[in-house]
């Protein structure tokens, strides 16, 4: 169904934003299809290894720049997830910003990337600025790692409480 999915994605009206996470199967996506999908992408979110598969080796900032300039010509931005370190946000016309992760007692990282992507998109759709959306996504991913299993994304109230507590600890 790759061709049908690519046709659907590339046929979306320009007014509809499209977020793409190529996941670990990025090497299984035929280059022509990947190129079409990336060309239609509004926001690309991937981990470091996925970014390197698409754009080659380099620092997160270099990868993000290449992703924006050579692979995602119409994207507003790229998020490169760096696990327990945090995530880099790169947007057109702005300097890249690294948003640090939150320290938690990790039990299971399964699903943390998916949680991050979903929370980032949800935060953008609620009107948060991109940097705050990445911070929100970092919090959601951190919470998800404190639980067993891959289907453990936190609810909005949990994330907001987590961020509130983090801010209080920072202010103290």
Q: Which of 7, 28, 108, 114 is catalytic?
A: 114
Active site residue 3: no
pLDDT in tens, 98-125: 999 999 999 999 999 999 999 999 999 9
Short-list 56, 148, 45, CA closest to 99 = 45
pTM over 0.85: yes
pLDDT confidence of residue 172? 78
């Amino acid at each position: 169904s790759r061709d049908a999915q690519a046709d659907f994605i590339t046929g979306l009206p320009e007014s509809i934003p499209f977020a793409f996470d190529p996941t670990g199967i990025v090497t299984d996506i035929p280059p022509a299809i990947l190129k079409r999908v990336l060309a239609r992408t509004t926001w690309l979110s991937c981990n470091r290894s996925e970014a390197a598969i698409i754009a080659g080796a380099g620092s997160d900032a270099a990868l993000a720049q290449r992703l924006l300039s050579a692979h995602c010509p119409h994207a507003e931005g790229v998020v490169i997830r760096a696990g327990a370190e945090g995530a880099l946000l790169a947007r057109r016309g702005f300097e890249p910003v690294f948003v640090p992760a939150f320290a938690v007692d990790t039990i299971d990282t399964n699903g943390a990337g998916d949680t991050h992507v979903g929370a980032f998109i949800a935060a953008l759709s609620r009107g948060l600025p991109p940097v705050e959306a990445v911070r929100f996504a970092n919090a959601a991913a951190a919470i998800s790692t404190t639980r067993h299993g891959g289907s453990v994304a936190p609810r909005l109230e949990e994330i907001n409480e987590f961020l509130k507590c983090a801010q209080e600890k920072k202010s103290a």
